[in-house]
Amino acid sequence: MPVDVAVLLVLLILGSALSPLLAPRLGVPEAVFQIGFGIAIGLLGFGHGGHDEEVLHLLAELGFILLMFGAGLEIDFDAVERGGRAGLLSGLGVAAGFFVVSAVVVWLVGLPAFYVVVLSATSVGLGVAVLRETGLTSATVGQKVLLVGSLGEFLTLIAMTVFQVASQVGVSLQLVGDLGKLAALFIAGGLFLRYLSAWTWWHPGVFSRAFAAHDASEVGVRAALLACMAFVLLAAWLGLEAILGAFIAGAVVRAVFRDVQILEGKMSALSSGFFIPIFFISVGVAFDVDQLSVEGLLKASILGAFLVVARLLPSAGLVSADVSVRDATGVALLLGAPLTLLVAIAELGLEIGALDEASRSALVLLAILLSVLLPIAFRLLFKPPAPTSA
């Protein structure tokens, strides 16, 4: 093994190990710390050229795929079912409203069309973490965040795929035909869902082992990885983004097996323990430090204001007899911090040529700012009551 690769691996594992220890002390999400660590080692010259760059790119790509598989696992189908048809339509209307308002903002300001995806990006991952910390997962605001966030994350992945296909063939009749590939991927996901559901019914013993807390062979982890990579292969074969295949695989597994805490914990040991931190560190390595200037911060702040507006207006549609204005504002704040998905969108934009290096780095900076500031605003809005003295 070349020395530069060995040194890089030591640094990557060091950054991964330090993030859960130092990030809470700094009051930032672990991903933010990992991006900062990546910026630091990038400035030292690691990950730029040579064997170490190739290794970093490969590991980061695997981390990206596992990140989106985990995003599919995060979809709360129980929350969708609890909301009933009325709740589903309401949540879907709000999630779609993010895109509508974002499109209007992009048109008014004159931004490139790709920024519709940027401003409407919705992810439930950071929101779930904040809800657990504040004990609001079962509260009205928590349930609405899970419902709208799950639906919005699904719509965001579809929008990313549409832009990826459009970047290859343009807006034409061929685009309509190529989107049939997207339909084929969803059909495959539906067939896999039915097949998996039937197998769990007829062979419960096999799948009970997959979700066992202690299994020396870790059959569940291997099966989950196989499903993930099979859909990644199918998506790549169809000419679609590999991450969409990973997302669909994760969503199918969650739809069939609602109680996935054990499997999710085991997958987290593999992905969050090693590969996903490397993805965020690689984002930091490629970060354009010039964006840390006043001009870069101003650009990110303006985009952040647009993104928050694109959340607040549609979220007002949630206000009803059982959802207060405060709850609706909380939904908007938590869903306005799509850290992982915004970074993924920045990577996709650079890959398809919709963004240049400077714009990509500005979006990464935006993701960092939102993931720190909006959860703080949410905690202030839903501050737990002080304990009363006896």
pLDDT (tens digit, 9 = 90+) per residue, 10-61? Answer: 888 888 888 888 888 887 778 788 888 888 888 887 766 666 777 888 888 8
Half-sphere exposure of 244 (CA within 13 A, CB side): 29
Q: Rounded to the nearest 5°, which phi and psi values hold at 218?
A: 50, 55
pLDDT at residue 384, rounded to an integer: 55
Task: Return the minimum-mean-pLDDT range out of 72-76, 161-165, 246-250.
Answer: 72-76
Average pLDDT, stretch 338-360?
A: 81
| Average pLDDT of the residues of the chain | 77
Q: Are 334 and 145 in contact (CB under 8 A)?
A: yes
pLDDT at residue 390, rounded to an integer: 43
- Written as six digits, the tokens of 218 are 């870790």
Q: How far apart are CA 197 and CA 290, in angstroms?
A: 51
pLDDT at 389 over 60: no
Range picked from 105-119, 150-164, 178-192, 324-338 for highest mean pLDDT: 105-119
pLDDT at 311 over 80: yes
Q: What's the Cα-to-Cα distance from 133 to each of 70, 382, 384, rounded to whole Å?
A: 20, 12, 11
Q: How far apart are CA 168 and CA 30, in angstroms?
A: 35
pLDDT at residue 388, rounded to an integer: 47
Q: Which residue has the tokens 């905690």?
A: 379
pLDDT at residue 351, rounded to an integer: 81
At residue 193 the predicted structure's pLDDT band, cuts being 50, 70 and 90, is low
pLDDT at 211 over 70: no
Q: Which residue has the tokens 């969050």?
A: 272
Q: Are 246 and 72 in contact (CB under 8 A)?
A: yes
Average pLDDT, stretch 330-348?
A: 81
pLDDT at residue 206, rounded to an integer: 56
pLDDT at residue 381, rounded to an integer: 80
pLDDT at 325 over 60: yes
Q: Are 271 and 67 in contact (CB under 8 A)?
A: yes
- Is the Cα torsion angle 321, 324, 328, 330 positive or negative in sign? negative
Angle between helices 294-315 and 77-109 (to 10 degrees): 120
pLDDT at residue 373, rounded to an integer: 82
Task: Return the minimum-mean-pLDDT range out of 190-199, 200-209, 371-380.
Answer: 200-209
At residue 68 the predicted structure's pLDDT band, cuts being 50, 70 and 90, is confident
Q: How far apart are CA 85 and CA 64, in angstroms?
A: 33
User: In 257-319, which ranges are continuous DSSP H helix?
Assistant: 261-270, 276-285, 294-315
Task: Return the minimum-mean-pLDDT range out of 84-88, 302-306, 379-383.
Answer: 84-88
Residue type, 115: Y
Q: Are 125 and 71 in contact (CB under 8 A)?
A: yes
pLDDT at 345 over 80: yes
pLDDT at residue 204, rounded to an integer: 59
pLDDT at 212 over 60: no
Average pLDDT, stretch 338-355?
A: 81
Angle between helices 357-381 and 125-134 (to 10 degrees): 20
User: In 212-275, which ranges are continuous DSSP H helix?
Assistant: 219-237, 242-256, 261-270
pLDDT at residue 107, rounded to an integer: 92
pLDDT at residue 104, rounded to an integer: 92
Q: What percent of the chain has pLDDT over 70?
A: 77
pLDDT at residue 44, rounded to an integer: 80
